[in-house]
A = this chain, B = another copy of it.
């Protein structure tokens, strides 16, 4: 099993791709049995989407899966998951979440833990820098993405 910092690299690569596309720089990877099954990134700007966050885009890219696969999965994400992505992780009973950082946004970590999910927060400087640069540059877009005025 790769260590969390190695897993995070896949999500960071997606976040950078999103940034380079002019989007919200959040990425994710779904890892099953140590292999990356799917990756994804926020596509609010690119697809005019209200639901394609890093984690949900990754789940969509993974396609229809049986519960037995989700049960062996880790969701890796550059940022603490919002309420929607928290709910998606709970829906599919993904047992482990690796989070790049939660300094720029605190999502549903408490709910995840209360439902038995193993949550690892890496406090990764690359992830923090991606979000700090984005929030300073595009505050309106960031607020839209998290449902704030």
Which residues in A have some Cβ–Cβ distance to B below 8 Å? 44, 48-51, 56, 59-60, 62-68, 70, 82-88, 90-93, 108, 111, 143-144, 146-149
Q: A50's contact among B62, B84, B85, B87, by CB below 8 Å, is which?
A: B62
In the complex, what distance in Å separates the CA atom of A148 from the CA atom of B66? 8
Nearest to A147 among chain B residues (CB) is B92
Q: Assuming A84-B84, A86-B87, A87-B88, is B50 touching A144 (CB within 8 A)?
A: no
- A51-B51, A67-B144, A84-B90 given; 12 more Cβ-contact pairs under 8 Å: A48-B64, A49-B60, A50-B62, A50-B63, A56-B84, A64-B144, A66-B149, A67-B148, A68-B149, A82-B87, A87-B108, A91-B146
Which of the residues B51, B64, B148 comes within 8 Å of A44, measured between beta carbons? B64
